[in-house]
Structure 1
Amino acid sequence: MRNLVVSVPTEQLAADIGATPDGVEVVVWPMDAAAPRERFDMVVPPYMTMTRVLARLEGVEVGLVQGQSIGYDGVADVLPDGLLFANAASVHETSTAELAVALALAAQRHIDAFAVDTAAGRWSPVFAESLADRRVLLLGYGGVGKAVAARLSGFEVQLTAVASRAREEDGMPVHGVDELPALLPQAEIVIVSLPGGESTRGIVDDAFLSALPDGALIVNVGRGTLIDTDALVDHARRGRIRAALDVTDPEPLPEGHPLWGLPGVLISPHVGGASTAMRPRIARLVRTQIERLAAGEPPINVVLGA
């Protein structure tokens, strides 16, 4: 049996993977230059620059490309033909859900304003909105949505889940997106965790925002393209809607963009998965894929090329 050859982008990830089955060679390749081998059984591209370097796989024999993100919108456009691509489901859900709840709490309890007051040495109490007793609509009930729901379970919210199709899952009634017009007028907080892509682009548009009650909060930890940015700017400027965004469209948000500095808008720079939870979880996933390949088993999480 021939050796398996796996590339990872950093020495750190190679060390985190730890011991591998006999006959497995782990090569560090940041994909900043041509491939050091003609064949890889698995390639793990760098985390944040993956779509910019996938072209380097052209002409290389690759069994599996293992991404480090849950989302994979746009990957099909740059992935060389014939390659399998797996996403990083199981790696970022917990960390992203933590940030979603943190953003909701920060916006409700004015933590962002208090941080500014702290820097200015200013004591300025406010009577704030609670998270408790709020009507929270989860738009997206995949891995991240379920993780958000689990973390909200102790906050005494009234939770409504919405996904692409209606169903009941683990005791949770899930509404279909076609029911949004009836659900939005009751939603005080909307937490969006849908994947990107053409089917979800601009789902949070002017009509969506107009259906929400005055003062409603939009939290987006999915993809920036889910929200019509111009519509959100218009509603936020009028004080109609508040927003807490980990992702934006465009991204990075350029200097001088109208979202910056808008009252009621809190922005974090796409850091949902960027926590200490990532390292052990991506190492565990890569190690699992290696063990499956070594055992002749199909990889998990394959989302393209299957």
Structure 2
Amino acid sequence: MSDSAAAIKTISFPDQDLLEAVRPLPDGLRGTVWDFRGDPADVDVADIDAVVLPYLNAQDILDVLSRATNLKLVQAQTTGVDGVAEAVGSDVAIASAAGVHAASTAELAVGLALASLRGIDAAARDQRDARWRHERRLSLADRKVLLVGVGGIGAEISKRLLPFEVELTRVGSKAREDEHGHVHGSDELVELAREAEVLIVITPLTDATRGLIDADVLAALPDGALVVNVARGAVVDSDALTREVVSGRISCAIDVFDPEPIPEEHPLWQAENALITPHVGGDTSAFQPRIVRLLKRQLAALGSGAEPENLVQRGGAWS
């Protein structure tokens, strides 16, 4: 047990319901509620060693974390931890909720692709007008799918694509071989995009991936291609995507965008070849039981002095 890990005694939760869901806490750990709008009811902010961020709108409260002057660990309820390191510095450990949202986000990625290709969104619009319009649409079967992102959610998307008999090409940060075959490097994206009929984006947002799907990649896609983004909005060049979609050359089915929410006057709202969901990839019935199970494992690790899961920044406690 490291000295810093042993010093984690007080952990805050963003609401009482989540704290109750993970009880009983291991011996030696104390839970409190801190909603980041005021002060915790029963402890001083300076006594908080670890915090669980809220699931929704966590970005809006990151500046408040500086009040926890003895903070050693931040636990996110999301897979992405955008902006957390900048808010807390390098001495604080950061853990993601990797795995919690994998199944839900993967099923949405496939669902968006199916809905767009098969025209389910168009049929829903037609239904309001009692309009019966038969068209031959594209099938997901036999499509050439380019999957950008081979982490936990990317692996789940790959598994769900297999029964649809697609021709799958996977892209990671660097070219390599893994247990499923070849992974192309992101430096090959423009060339790979020339053959892609469906581009699915699920890479984390980092300095290296911001704008990764840029105007050159989008322009390389064949006419009629579909872009599915279930990663972070800023991984895709929003202006370039909008130009390509509004022109009618390609389609998009997106759960994320930059900025969010998409402004009311934005042209994508009116584009018939755009399918938009409001960043709901991980927010399903699967979320609550899975985040509770993860948090219980994290608390057990902290209680025993073991290293918690999903550390994306080790800080001083587990360096």
Q: Taking structure 1 as the reference length, what is the TM-score of the superposition?
A: 0.94
Partner of 2:38: 33
SS in 2 for 1:14: helix
Decide which of 6, 10, 16 is 2:11's aligned counterpart. 6
CA deviation digits over 1:14-68, x for unaligned, max 9? Answer: 2322433233322222222134433223210211222222333324222311011
Paired residue type of 1:53: I
Partner of 2:65: 57
Paired residue type of 2:97: A
SS in 1 for 2:299: helix
Q: Percent identity?
A: 46
Decide which of 21, 24, 49 is 1:19's aligned counterpart. 24
Decide which of 139, 147, 151 is 2:148's aligned counterpart. 139
Task: Tell whether 2:167 aligns with 1:167.
Answer: no
Paired residue type of 1:241: I
Partner of 1:293: 302
Task: Tell whether 2:259 aligns with 1:254.
Answer: no
Please give the alpha-carbon distance, in whole angstroms, between the structure 2 residues aligned to 1:66 and 1:3.
13
CA deviation digits over 1:207-264, x for unaligned, max 9? Answer: 1111111100000001111111221122112221110010001111011012111121
Paired residue type of 1:12: D
SS in 1 for 2:275: strand
Pairwise mapping of residues 92-111 of structure 1 onto structure 2 (< 5 A)?
A: 92-111=101-120
Tell me, which stretches of 5 or more residues in structure 2 are unaligned? Answer: 1-5
Q: Taking structure 2 as the reference length, what is the TM-score of the superposition?
A: 0.90
RMSD of aligned C-alpha atoms? 1.8
Decide which of 40, 44, 47 is 2:52's aligned counterpart. 44
CA deviation digits over 1:67-112, x for unaligned, max 9? Answer: 1111112222222563221111111111111110000000001111
Residue 175 of structure 1 and its aligned partner are, at CA, apart by: 0.8
CA contact (8 A) 2:245 2:274 kept: yes
Please give the alpha-carbon distance, in whole angstroms, between the structure 1 residues aligned to 2:171 and 2:226.
16
CA deviation digits over 1:170-227, x for unaligned, max 9? Answer: 2231111122233111110000011113211222222111111110000000111111
CA deviation digits over 1:127-169, x for unaligned, max 9? Answer: 1100001110101111111110011111111111001011122
Please give the alpha-carbon distance, in whole angstroms, between the structure 2 residues aligned to 1:59 and 1:295.
27
CA contact (8 A) 1:9 1:45 kept: yes
The verdict on how the C-alpha distance between 1:81 and 1:204 changes in structure 2, with shifts beyond 3 A counting, is: closer
Please give the alpha-carbon distance, in whole angstroms, between the structure 2 residues aligned to 1:52 and 1:207.
33
SS in 2 for 1:303: strand
Pairwise mapping of residues 152-301 of structure 1 onto structure 2 (< 5 A)?
A: 152-301=161-310
Task: Tell whether 2:138 aligns with 1:129.
Answer: yes
CA contact (8 A) 2:90 2:313 kept: no
CA contact (8 A) 2:102 2:152 kept: yes
Please give the alpha-carbon distance, in whole angstroms, between the structure 2 residues aligned to 1:202 and 1:3.
38
Total equivalences in the alignment: 306
